[in-house]
Structure 1
Amino acid sequence: MNTTLDILRTNLGKALADTAYMVIVATIIGVVLGTLIALLLYITENRLFTPNRVVNVVVGFVVNAIRSLPFLILMVVLIPVVQLLIGDPYTPTGGAISLSIAAVPFFARVAESAFSEVDPGLLEAAVSTGAPITQIIAGAVFPQVLPSFIRGVVLTIISLIGYSAMVGTIGAGGIGDMAIQYGYNRYETGVLAVIVVILIVLVQLIQWFGDALARRVTH
């Protein structure tokens, strides 16, 4: 018991900080770039904007190609790329890069699905006013999809928390690394139990907050 407490006291804070760092960085990059890609897919597919089948098919293929790889395989494939970028891929920053590349296509499809839910009648009315695309997107599309968009962000964060645990398999830090090093390799069941409880509570809180925020902005 004392050994478990010592391990938690010494390592848990840094493990949580590393996980938070990786998830926050990947979420920001994933949401920003994923939203831009989703808008490109939405605009090039919708007949009311600027349909372009070639662009839509090519971008969609790239998104699906990255999404088709399980994260563990994607992470291993990206090790040489991350090593080229920052030198040492086995760090929280290296993990954040891998997570970001996984998050972008994931959120792109989530956001694209949200955009497709916009009422066609409302969209046609907005287009008929002659407003530019940027104004239509900001004034008509985003307000309608905001609840689904928020739920998509929450889904992405929760998925990234799970992915970040896999980063620990290559020793890149975070709570997954701690679980493997101490809970699995050293047979410290108490450490594993604490980490499991923390993850369950964390995911529940994020889901609750996201649902509450989505309900608040629902028209």
Structure 2
Amino acid sequence: MNSTQEILVENLPKALADTAYMVLVSTLIGVVLGTLIALLLYLTENQLFRPSPVVNAIIGFVVNAIRSLPFLILMVVLIPVVQIIIGDPYTPTGGAISLSIAAVPYFARIAESAFAEIDPGLLEAAISTGAPTRQIITDAIFPQALPSFIRGIVLTIISLIGYSAMVGTIGAGGIGDMAIQYGYNRYETGVLVVIVVILIIIVQIIQWVGDWIARKVTH
């Protein structure tokens, strides 16, 4: 018991900080770039705007190609790339890069689905007023898609927390690394139990907050 307490006191704060860093960075990059890609997919497919089947097919292929790889395989494939970018892929920053690349296409499809749920009649009315595409995006598309958009961000964060645990398999830090080093390799069952409980609590809080925000912004 004393050994478990010592391990948790010495290592848990840094492990949680590393996980938070990786998840926050990858969520920010994933949401920003994923939203831009989703808009391209939506606008190039929707007949109300300027459909471009070729552009849509190319972007869709790249998104699906990255999404088709399980994260563990994607992470291993990206190790040489991350090494070129930052020098050491076995760090929280290296893990954040891998998570970001996985998050972008993941969130892109979620955001695209949120945009697809918008009532076409609303868009037709906005277009008929002569509003430019930029204004339609900011004043019609985003406000209408916002509840689904927020739920998609929550889903992405929760998924990235799970992915960040896999980063621990290559020793890049975070709570997954701690679980493997101490809970698995050193047979400290108490460490594993505490980590599992913490993850459950974190996910429940994120889900509750996300659902609450989504309800508040629902029109």
TM-score, structure 2 normalization: 1.00
User: What CA distance in whole angstroms lies between the structure 2 residues aligned with 1:147 and 1:122?
Assistant: 17
TM-score, structure 1 normalization: 1.00
User: What CA distance in whole angstroms lies between the structure 2 residues aligned with 1:130 and 1:50?
Assistant: 15
Q: Which runs of 5+ in 2 are unaligned?
A: none
Q: Which amino acid aligns with 1:69?
A: L
Residue 23 of structure 1: how far off its partner (Å): 0.1
Q: Which amino acid aligns with 1:117?
A: E
Cα RMSD of the aligned pairs, angstroms, is 0.3
User: What CA distance in whole angstroms lies between the structure 1 residues aligned with 2:173 and 2:207?
Assistant: 24
Displaced runs of 4+ in structure 1, greater than 2 A?
none
User: What CA distance in whole angstroms lies between the structure 1 residues aligned with 2:50 and 2:11?
Assistant: 53
Q: Deviations over 1:93-134 (max 9, x none)?
A: 000000000000000000000000000100100011111101
Q: Which residue of 2 aligns with 1:147?
A: 147
Q: Which residue of 1 aligns with 2:175?
A: 175
Q: Which runs of 5+ in 1 are unaligned?
A: none
Q: Which residue of 2 aligns with 1:85?
A: 85
Q: Which amino acid aligns with 1:121?
A: G
User: What CA distance in whole angstroms lies between the structure 1 residues aligned with 2:129 and 2:52?
Assistant: 23
Q: Which residue of 1 aligns with 2:157?
A: 157
User: What CA distance in whole angstroms lies between the structure 2 residues aligned with 1:218 and 1:118?
Assistant: 13
- Is 1:118 aligned with 2:118? yes
Residue 42 of structure 1: how far off its partner (Å): 0.3
Q: Deviations over 1:51-96 (max 9, x none)?
A: 0000000000000000000000000000000000000000000000
Residue 9 of structure 1: how far off its partner (Å): 0.3
User: What CA distance in whole angstroms lies between the structure 2 residues aligned with 1:89 and 1:63?
Assistant: 23
Q: Which amino acid aligns with 2:170?
A: I
Q: Which amino acid aligns with 1:130?
A: G
User: What CA distance in whole angstroms lies between the structure 2 residues aligned with 1:123 and 1:189?
Assistant: 56
User: What CA distance in whole angstroms lies between the structure 1 residues aligned with 2:145 and 2:41?
Assistant: 16
Identity rate of aligned residues, in percent?
Answer: 82
Q: Which residue of 1 aligns with 2:136?
A: 136
Q: Deviations over 1:179-214 (max 9, x none)?
A: 000000000000000000000000000000000000
Q: Which residue of 1 aligns with 2:22?
A: 22
Q: Which amino acid aligns with 1:49?
A: F
User: What CA distance in whole angstroms lies between the structure 1 residues aligned with 2:116 and 2:218?
Assistant: 17
Aligned length: 219
